[in-house]
Amino acid sequence: MTVTQEHLDTDTLTGVVAHDISDDPFPVSGWDALVWASGNATQSAQYFQLAFGMRLEAYSGPETGNRDHHAYVLRAGSVRFVIKGAVSPESPVADHHRRHGDGVLDVALEVPDVDKCVAHARAAGAQIVTEPHDSTDSHGTVRTAAIKAYGDTTHTLVDRSRYHGPYLPGYVARGGAVHETPAFVALDHVVGNVELGAMDEWVAFYHRVMGFTNLAEFIGDDIATEYSALMSKVVASGDHRVKFPLNEPAVGKRKSQIDEYLEFYGGPGVQHLALATPDICETVDALRERGVEFLATPDSYYTDTVLRQRIGEVLVGAHHVDAREVECLSRQVRQRLTRFDLRAPLAQDRLEIS
Amino acid sequence: MTVTQEHLDTDTLTGVVAHDISDDPFPVSGWDALVWASGNATQSAQYFQLAFGMRLEAYSGPETGNRDHHAYVLRAGSVRFVIKGAVSPESPVADHHRRHGDGVLDVALEVPDVDKCVAHARAAGAQIVTEPHDSTDSHGTVRTAAIKAYGDTTHTLVDRSRYHGPYLPGYVARGGAVHETPAFVALDHVVGNVELGAMDEWVAFYHRVMGFTNLAEFIGDDIATEYSALMSKVVASGDHRVKFPLNEPAVGKRKSQIDEYLEFYGGPGVQHLALATPDICETVDALRERGVEFLATPDSYYTDTVLRQRIGEVLVGAHHVDAREVECLSRQVRQRLTRFDLRAPLAQDRLEIS
């Protein structure tokens, strides 16, 4: 297979639009990190390096004075994963793992002004899990706070403008030995599954607390077909860099996949991530060789008119194909039901495959 | 690096001796499987394929009617790993993971006569966890039972002489996409850590219940040096194919590594495995490239006279080196303190490295 393509920057890949966040009531600069609770953080971190080509950047654990958990900071492009695993059964990370299996603890957002965000969130009725505070080491000072989101998920707000360390105070720089090609370059969106009837409540939460707006192209689609049976709305930060689709179950011909998630995950939580790759065909081929399994995409994903409108177009080999997004399951990423999306390039991209 | 070597069969690598097991009170033919409880079996199974070149052979899980856990059966040479991960928080696999983190649930042994073994074990005072019973599917019948060992560890006894399926009834054949070179060919020994004062009790258990004998070369060494601080005795099946070193803490200059294990693992359990590879130098190099980390071997491992006697000799490049066994830590294999040994070839082996 030969693939040629024009350069696409990650903002284009992920649909970022021009917007001045400084007037936002809750200004969000972008993603900071996806923080995972893992049953074996050391092995998970190695897996993400071997299978997805992420690079180890930093570490915290018993050797650095953290007796509660191990944590590995991995990077691919602008995507940062922090994989945490309990050292003792009393760790909150062990609690989360017991309830949910491997899953996302925290979707951390980069903000220029933690206190302004928290003040707005508090006034809007959000639960402040951790009040704003500074953490300092020889690399500088980070200001953080955290607010509660759906289920056991939190949003940590991070201002690292005065910090130049590898991740956060308490972490030390650490590199890995694996040098596979990274499979993705940016985080496109993080999908949350919530209970029946709770979708609009959480859409309203992101409107009210974070000043997010609905992404017009995805509003109000009722996707209640045989293969999906879900309701979904998408909220986004001002410049669309941070996007949160929120799903709730819908009645379909079969049991809703969202009900199935809620049952297996043990409540609401992050269902899947969409990750941007400049070359989805090459990436999928490479990942398959590394043992990553993909969901078969049902034909209706291409033929259903509502979905077609939602998915848009991709150019592959100068021909239009009927998918902008390829949904795929990495059984390796989530033991239970979280899916791992690889977001296809936008229509501007051109792939030639021979 | 160029490596040449004479062929060594795995029996030679693992020190098997001539012995007729048919007269043993508890005849053991060999290892059947190492059964792991994992926090994310799907990811672990992928990891063992990517990092250690194991091959996926069989699977059980929700798709095959097993609502309790996923289980992946992996093979390298004669070594079989079964990686289990809970599907629901109520699974016993989740209990084990919560108490211990990733760890070994069961050290399964192949026996020609399950009922004879269980009758002898019962008479000798062993706790029978699962009585002998048949499991049947279209591939035939397997007879199994299980007895309790140290901590939460069990020994399942397996007679698969009338079975030709991929693993056990309930499992379906499944292959993987990863085809890395296997890092090992046979299991040499499985080490158990037990509480202070319990080593002789467990040595007596394996004598009494399984008719195991002490391996003369390892008897009664008190290894209480700065870097180890442990007492260790090794029991073995009649032909030495199955070997169980049993460690308890000893007073040393620093806290015993065994105490540290007992604290972090939450009680007695499997500490590490020793795996035979025909070419340890090449294997270690290859594993390092796949991100596997190794414990630095302390100089005293080569200079301490007691240890030298225990370790024996290796020929590398026609020169004797002072280690038959290279202890190495795979941080990936056990999040906590289990070590992953790669057993070096015996002195008959010749490695030439240029």
Cross-chain residue pair A85–B97, CB shorter than 8 Å? no
pLDDT at B213: 93
Å between A242 CA and nearest CA of chain B: 27
Please, which residues 165-204 of chain B have a Cβ atom closer than 8 Å to chain A? 176-178
Interface test with B, best of A36, A43, A178 (most B CBs within 10 A): A43
Say yes or no to pLDDT of A186 above 70. yes
pLDDT at A156: 98
- How do residues A187-230 score in pLDDT, each as one tens digit? 888 989 999 999 999 999 999 999 999 985 444 444 545 455 77
Å between A48 CA and nearest CA of chain B: 9
pLDDT at B269: 93
Residues from chain B that touch A86, judged by Cβ atoms under 8 A, are 101
Residues from chain A that touch B264, judged by Cβ atoms under 8 A, are 87-88
Comparing A283 with A243, the larger pLDDT belongs to: A243
Cross-chain residue pair B291–A102, CB shorter than 8 Å? no
Over residues A292-302, the mean pLDDT reads 61
pLDDT at A335: 26
Please, which residues 90-109 of chain A have a Cβ atom closer than 8 Å to chain B? 94, 97-99, 101-102
Question: Which parts of chain B sit beneath pLDDT 50?
Answer: 1-7, 217-222, 224, 226, 312-354
Cross-chain residue pair A291–B176, CB shorter than 8 Å? yes
Å between B263 CA and nearest CA of chain A: 9
Is B42 an interface residue toward A (CB < 8 Å)? yes
What number of C-beta contacts closer than 8 Å exist between A and B?
116
Comparing A299 with A69, the larger pLDDT belongs to: A69
Å between B235 CA and nearest CA of chain A: 31
Give domain limits for chain B.
Answer: 3-173
Query: Which of B85, B266, B289 is facing A335, going by the closest CB pair?
Result: B85
Is B291 an interface residue toward A (CB < 8 Å)? yes
Say yes or no to pLDDT of A276 above 70. yes
Beta bridge partners of A69: A86
Q: Please tell me the distance from the alpha carbon of residue B322 to that of residue B311, in angstroms, as a whole number.
A: 8
Residues from chain B that touch A336, judged by Cβ atoms under 8 A, are 87
A290 near A183, Cβ under 8 Å? no
Tell me, letter by letter, the H, E, C secondary structure of chain B: CCEECCCCCHHHHCCCCCCCHHHCCCCCCEEEEEEEEECCHHHHHHHHHHHHCCEEEEEECHHHCCCCEEEEEEEECCEEEEEEEECCCCCHHHHHHHHHCCEEEEEEEECCCHHHHHHHHHHCCCCEEEEEEEEEECCEEEEEEEEECCCCCEEEEEECCCECCCCCCCCEECCCCCCCCCCCCEEEEEEEECCCCCHHHHHHHHHHHHCCEECHHHCCCEECCCCCCEEEEEEECCCCCCEEEEEEECCCCCCCHHHHHHHHHCCCEEEEEEEECCCHHHHHHHHHHCCCCCCCCCCHHHHCHHHHHHHCCEEECCEEECCCEECCCCCCCCCCCCEEEEECCCCCCCEEEC
Is B266 an interface residue toward A (CB < 8 Å)? yes
Å between B45 CA and nearest CA of chain A: 8
Residues from chain A that touch B50, judged by Cβ atoms under 8 A, are 47, 50-51, 290-291
Is A331 an interface residue toward B (CB < 8 Å)? yes
B105 near B340, Cβ under 8 Å? no
pLDDT at B56: 96
Question: pTM score > 0.90 for this model?
Answer: no
Residue in this structure with the two tokens 């390892």, named with its chain if needed: B218
Comparing B296 with A103, the larger pLDDT belongs to: A103
B263 → chain A, closest CA residue:
A88
Say yes or no to pLDDT of A19 above 80. yes
B332 → chain A, closest CA residue:
A43
Query: Which of A42, A266, A334 is facing B89, going by the closest CB pair?
Result: A266
Å between B118 CA and nearest CA of chain A: 34
Mean pLDDT lowest among A85-89, A229-233, B196-200 = A229-233
B116 near B282, Cβ under 8 Å? no
Say yes or no to pLDDT of A347 above 80. no
Cross-chain residue pair B102–A49, CB shorter than 8 Å? no
Residues from chain A that touch B334, judged by Cβ atoms under 8 A, are 42
pLDDT at A15: 82
Cross-chain residue pair A266–B44, CB shorter than 8 Å? no
Interface test with A, best of B36, B42, B49, B263 (most A CBs within 10 A): B42
Q: How many CA atoms lie within 13 A of A102 on its CB side?
A: 33
With bands split at pLDDT 50, 70 and 90, how would you rate the model's confidence at A310?
A: low
Over residues A323-345, the mean pLDDT reads 33
Query: Which of A46, A94, A290 is facing B332, going by the closest CB pair?
Result: A46
Q: Please tell me the distance from the alpha carbon of residue A19 to that of residue A23, in angstroms, as a whole number.
A: 10
pLDDT at B29: 96
pLDDT at A323: 38
pLDDT at A317: 32
Over residues A32-57, the mean pLDDT reads 92
Residues 6 or more apart whose Cβ sits within 8 Å of residue B128: B118, B121, B122, B145, B146, B147, B148
Cross-chain residue pair A50–B291, CB shorter than 8 Å? yes
Mean pLDDT lowest among A79-88, A246-255, B201-210, B334-343 = B334-343
- How do residues A131-166 score in pLDDT, each as one tens digit? 999 999 999 999 999 999 999 999 999 999 999 999
Say yes or no to pLDDT of A78 above 90. yes
Å between B317 CA and nearest CA of chain A: 27
B102 → chain A, closest CA residue:
A40
Q: Please tell me the distance from the alpha carbon of residue B273 to that of residue B188, in angstroms, as a whole number.
A: 8
B90 near B98, Cβ under 8 Å? no
Cross-chain residue pair B333–A43, CB shorter than 8 Å? yes
pLDDT at A339: 33
Residues from chain B that touch A51, judged by Cβ atoms under 8 A, are 46, 50
User: Which CATH number applies to B3-173: 3.40.50.300, 3.50.50.60, 3.40.50.10190, 3.10.180.10?
Assistant: 3.10.180.10
Q: Which helix (H) or strand (E) holds B344?
A: none
Is A333 an interface residue toward B (CB < 8 Å)? yes
- H helices present in A1-139, as ranges: 10-13, 41-52, 92-100, 114-123
pLDDT at B307: 54
Is B55 an interface residue toward A (CB < 8 Å)? no
Cross-chain residue pair B51–A50, CB shorter than 8 Å? yes
